[in-house]
A and B are shown apart, each in its own frame.
Chain A
């Protein structure tokens, strides 16, 4: 084992190779995604597909880890690359400074795991549809702050593992069944995001990823839908899980419908 990873050797004798061999897709490199990048690189992941269309603004610096004042105006992808290459000079990074929906193929389908750090419900649905088509586990993270006057703001977040063959975001109730789409999180002033909550969500997602790859904890029947209560500082199994039937089959993504989309001419 490489001495870089001696402190995580308890993950298993093959863990270093398995982690290095994993290709991770990261969608969104803002508050959540920048933590994901940082931890994945420290962990030893060497293959990446990263997407983010945005440049860094000064309002991002309260949470975008790895970014400095000098990065304002640069693409968020450039900070992610710097963090990864700083730990793995020969890392294999597919960098797409664009919306992933504008050019997902063939990059995303090559990923072994995708972590989605995206804002809108519609985008989460679309990303999950792609992941299911190529049977890729998707870990979805996000946070939200609600203000209901006169109470103090309520900060909440979620970490969901959408595993092909298992319950999807709709099955979990994380996205409304009726497709009534809210396009952005947040009600407390311009998409509220804070560094510590992003860090907790991202750390938990990376913990799920490590367990998926190495099975070190031997608790993989554990719960794939966690809720973060930012006011109480807790991460707990989501209450919706207790209402789900065990071994429920997802009706939204039939297992036979996998592979690339088929386009047919519509004959008038």
Chain B
């Protein structure tokens, strides 16, 4: 068994509708998908997503060197959600192509460091990164209590199902 992130297609559509919009200066948008973690053995952790927190236009920082840079409010909002709920938070962004997306080196450098503070604030929950393409998705997750990230399959529930 693996770690899974499961979300409704309607939530997936909401994320996509937000993330594909062109931004005045940022090349990529990000958002947070939040969910409840069902813990078990580390390889059988399930995150059931229930909401999406978008990032307002003015919270991005104009930096042509990276796809998306944003101010502290963005991270603070995710951290606050962890504090308030103890739930899972995944940072989500979108690569504009079809087929299986791959986290870039910039993604690793910029997004990976977002996760440890979330794990500190909501240690019972799995946290991670979700990357969408036009028709597929990949994710990595840090299920509790694992210190290492692991591949996380993504299940989009709707008609049709998306099993990624």
Contacts and interface: CB of A to CB of B under 8 A. Distances in A.
Q: Do A and B bind each other?
A: yes
Interface of A: 18, 21-22, 105-106, 109-110, 112-113, 133-137, 163-165, 211-215, 220-221, 255-256, 258-260
With a 10 A CB-CB cut-off, give which of B7, B8, B159 has the most chain A CB atoms.
Answer: B159
Interface of B: 1, 4, 6-10, 35-38, 40-41, 44, 46, 48-51, 155, 157-161, 163
B40 A105 contact: yes
Nearest to B45: A106
A213 B155 CA distance: 11
A211 B155 CA distance: 16
B13 to A, nearest CB: 11
A214 to B, nearest CB: 7
22 contacts: A21-B163, A22-B161, A22-B163, A106-B44, A110-B1, A110-B44, A134-B46, A135-B8, A135-B48, A164-B157, A165-B8, A165-B10, A165-B157, A211-B160, A220-B160, A221-B159, A255-B8, A256-B50, A258-B35, A258-B36, A259-B38, A260-B37
A134 B37 contact: no
Contacts, number: 76
Contacts of A164: 8, 157
Contacts of A260: 36-38
Contacts of B8: 135, 164-165, 255
With a 10 A CB-CB cut-off, give which of B40, B46, B158, B163 has the most chain A CB atoms.
Answer: B163
B50 A258 contact: yes
B1 A212 contact: no
B36 A259 contact: yes
A212 B162 CA distance: 9
Contacts of A211: 160
Nearest to B155: A112
Contacts of B1: 110
Contacts of B35: 258-259
B160 A215 contact: yes
B76 to A, nearest CB: 23
